[in-house]
Chain A
């Protein structure tokens, strides 16, 4: 396997036998949705506070319109379920879905198994933006939509635009140049972040928290802020799902079939980066998800992007909700950074799949 970008790593032909496709197009998505529901339900009932599962569900059902379930519980339980656990599960689901979805799009554009949403500098740009917000005298509200997520979002955008401008020559954007520009710019940004970390005095811990990523300080306000960006970015990528399939052929062949390769690359990467940047602004830098979940999904459900994209999102959501559940319960009341959990829990599973399913399916 070569890591030279642009080389066609995946064999072409997303076309599946006609009859088989119609059945399997539905079942994996249903399976993914059911899995997500089950994991979300489990995550809602577990936590540092010992609230019985029945009580949790009663509280949730009570909030549904036209249904009243009488519950006589401490006020703090209600706060925990609605202001802590529910937004945490929702945010973990959204971020997991966003990272896996944009990871699938990145891998589709680059046709490189090492492609992931942070490839073009989203993570390092966001981290630098967050670090600047934290060390600056700007008022930092960790819980609301304050300067930290805002500057993280801006930093991610600035990084991707810079990488694109550096890599472009005329109207041609070479994949290898893009990736190298992304790696170089990420290194520069990370170094500046490290410098701020070392000289920031008392601001060290909040910056580290952002670099580790996690959902301990998530709030409804921030989720609502993130939703429109996620929706727009995801919708644009979805429009190009079929074109991404064609792009899995050689770029020249795709061009012969009438695809404006440079334009598709620009639009899909911009939309996928928007999704990834929003995820990072929401929860900090969480690694592993955007790289591994698309691969797992492809191993289980094939390469058709019309199915791969939504399924990656479903699996990514389930995976990150489960990882966050572990991060807040394993050594409760203490918190484990969720990035540690994603790698420890996901790594062995992925290696097992590699071993049993074979690397040729990457």
Chain B
């Protein structure tokens, strides 16, 4: 009630000038309204704790599973207390949507953003329009979510302020980061066991891929193309992390940002043996790559090893990372991963 005291002091000044009264009254109403909205949420208590920022996502997991209320905190360190397992989750992060469905929390999801296109069940849900990764706040609020999952920091901050229990998940840049996210979402939704099981199964498949490459010391030189102006994924990105696990020599090694634009000369000089096209849907193919000036004599082009990959699979740290790494392994090492055997489970 500190705010209320402060408010009365502000109002005291108003008698100096009668004209200010309407403005002051309006301000008072506004502040009151904000306070009401902030207190209006009954299913959860939002407590901002800057000191908790250091605690990682995984530590939010309580010892006794499936017991509510429980407190979890996202990557911004803001702790939220959930009184019961959320039943009206809104996920505006395509990766998190995949994870929620993968750990059996799909039936608790009420709506998703328009980029959440997997699994099919997610596409059947109401979709929110998204601009610059930010979902329409009015429609979002109108859905009265009991848990919002977002990867946009600004949106998380806004909805913390609106009293909606909001879990901010920074987009993971490693496979380990995805495991942390899975466990955190398991904890928030009451699917701790499913989350652990999913992590174990994914780990098993990823390890199986890495196992088959145990004798590889220097993998092929790979260029992972995000678009035809030569944006790519450096080792500091999620894609780059998977490529590193696959022991390839990434052309973008040594770049300063996770998603750098490379100079064409550097790509040609590196002479990649495999080119992975995440922009196949935008018309790029072996033919268009071979037609680029200076690219035709490249090893990958000469050997026909320019392969389109599904960007929803490779670029999205979500519930299908095992599929993603198997797909990449098959594209990069076709002799070690024949198509038949990789279609497992």
Q: In the complex, which of the residues B255, B260, B264 has the most CB atoms of chain A within 10 Å of its own CB atom?
A: B264
Let me know if B268 and A205 touch, CB within 8 A.
no
Let me know if A202 and B261 touch, CB within 8 A.
no
A198 to B230, CA, bound (A): 21
A142 to B282, CA, bound (A): 11
Knowing A139-B283, A216-B230, say if A48 contacts B293 (CB, 8 Å).
Answer: no
Least CB separation from B267: chain A residue: A333
Knowing A205-B227, A333-B255, A334-B256, say if A199 contacts B293 (CB, 8 Å).
Answer: no
Q: For the complex, is B3 an interface residue (Cβ under 8 Å from A)?
A: no
Helix, strand, loop or mixed for chain B's interface? loop
Let me know if A198 and B256 touch, CB within 8 A.
no
Residues of B within 8 A of A203 (CB): 282
Q: For the complex, is A117 an interface residue (Cβ under 8 Å from B)?
A: no
Let me know if A75 and B230 touch, CB within 8 A.
no
Q: For the complex, is B18 an interface residue (Cβ under 8 Å from A)?
A: no
Task: Fill in one digit per residue for B227-265: 1 if any A CB lies within 8 Å of its CB, else 0.
Answer: 111110000000000000000000110111100111111
In-complex Cβ contact of B293 among A49, A84, A139, A328 (8 A) = A84
Knowing A139-B283, A198-B132, A331-B256, say if A219 contacts B293 (CB, 8 Å).
Answer: yes
Knowing A143-B292, A198-B131, say if A84 contacts B264 (CB, 8 Å).
Answer: yes
Let me know if A216 and B261 touch, CB within 8 A.
yes
Distance in angstroms from A207 CB to nearest chain B CB is 10
Task: Fill in one digit per residue for A119-156: 1 if any B CB lies within 8 Å of its CB, else 0.
Answer: 00000000000000000000111111000000000000
Residues of B within 8 A of A209 (CB): 229, 261
A349 to B260, CA, bound (A): 29
Q: For the complex, is B127 an interface residue (Cβ under 8 Å from A)?
A: no
Least CB separation from B262: chain A residue: A333
Knowing A76-B297, A331-B256, say if A206 contacts B265 (CB, 8 Å).
Answer: no
A20 to B261, CA, bound (A): 50
Least CB separation from A198: chain B residue: B131
Q: For the complex, is B340 an interface residue (Cβ under 8 Å from A)?
A: no
Interface residues of A in 48-93 (CB under 8 A from B): 48-50, 75-76, 79-80, 82-85, 87
Residues of B within 8 A of A142 (CB): 228-229
Interface residues of A in 200-215 (CB under 8 A from B): 201-203, 205-206, 209
Residues of B within 8 A of A251 (CB): none
Residues of A within 8 A of B297 (CB): 75-76, 79
Residues of B within 8 A of A216 (CB): 229-230, 261, 263-264
Distance in angstroms from A277 CB to nearest chain B CB is 21
Let me know if B291 and A85 touch, CB within 8 A.
no
A202 to B230, CA, bound (A): 14
Let me know if B266 and A143 touch, CB within 8 A.
no
In-complex Cβ contact of A217 among B115, B131, B132, B229 (8 A) = B229
Knowing A49-B265, A206-B228, say if A334 contacts B255 (CB, 8 Å).
Answer: yes
Let me know if A335 and B230 touch, CB within 8 A.
yes
Least CB separation from A49: chain B residue: B269
A54 to B226, CA, bound (A): 35
Let me know if A84 and B229 touch, CB within 8 A.
no
Q: For the complex, is B288 an interface residue (Cβ under 8 Å from A)?
A: yes
In-complex Cβ contact of B263 among A50, A79, A82, A332 (8 A) = A332
In-complex Cβ contact of B291 among A143, A217, A332 (8 A) = A143
Residues of B within 8 A of A49 (CB): 265-266, 268-269
In-complex Cβ contact of B265 among A80, A144, A199, A217 (8 A) = A80
Let me know if A80 and B268 touch, CB within 8 A.
yes
Q: For the complex, is B271 an interface residue (Cβ under 8 Å from A)?
A: yes
Q: For the complex, is A294 an interface residue (Cβ under 8 Å from B)?
A: no
Distance in angstroms from A224 CB to nearest chain B CB is 12
Q: For the complex, is A220 an interface residue (Cβ under 8 Å from B)?
A: yes
Let me know if A80 and B294 touch, CB within 8 A.
yes
Least CB separation from A197: chain B residue: B132
Q: In the complex, which of the residues B254, B265, B292, B294 has the most CB atoms of chain A within 10 Å of its own CB atom?
A: B265
Q: For the complex, is A316 an interface residue (Cβ under 8 Å from B)?
A: no
A198 to B252, CA, bound (A): 27
Residues of A within 8 A of B229 (CB): 142, 205-206, 209, 216-217
Let me know if B294 and A84 touch, CB within 8 A.
yes
Q: Which residues of A come within 8 Å of B, CB atoms?
A: 47-50, 75-76, 79-80, 82-85, 87, 139-144, 198-199, 201-203, 205-206, 209, 216-217, 219-220, 328, 331-335
List, sorted by A's number, 30 A–B pairs whose CB atoms are closer than 8 Å. Answer: A49-B265, A76-B297, A79-B268, A79-B294, A83-B294, A84-B265, A84-B293, A85-B265, A140-B228, A143-B291, A143-B292, A199-B131, A201-B115, A202-B227, A205-B226, A205-B227, A205-B229, A206-B227, A209-B261, A216-B229, A216-B263, A217-B230, A217-B264, A333-B260, A333-B262, A333-B263, A333-B267, A334-B257, A334-B263, A335-B261
- Those 9 A-B pairs whose CB atoms lie nearest each other, nearest first: A333-B266, A49-B269, A83-B294, A48-B266, A83-B293, A79-B294, A209-B229, A334-B260, A328-B263
Given A333-B251, A335-B261, 16 additional A-B pairs, CB 8 A: A49-B269, A76-B268, A76-B297, A84-B294, A141-B288, A143-B293, A198-B131, A199-B131, A205-B229, A206-B227, A206-B229, A216-B263, A217-B229, A332-B266, A333-B266, A334-B263
Q: Which residues of B come within 8 Å of A, CB atoms?
A: 115, 131-132, 226-231, 251-252, 254-257, 260-271, 279, 281-283, 288, 291-294, 296-298, 311
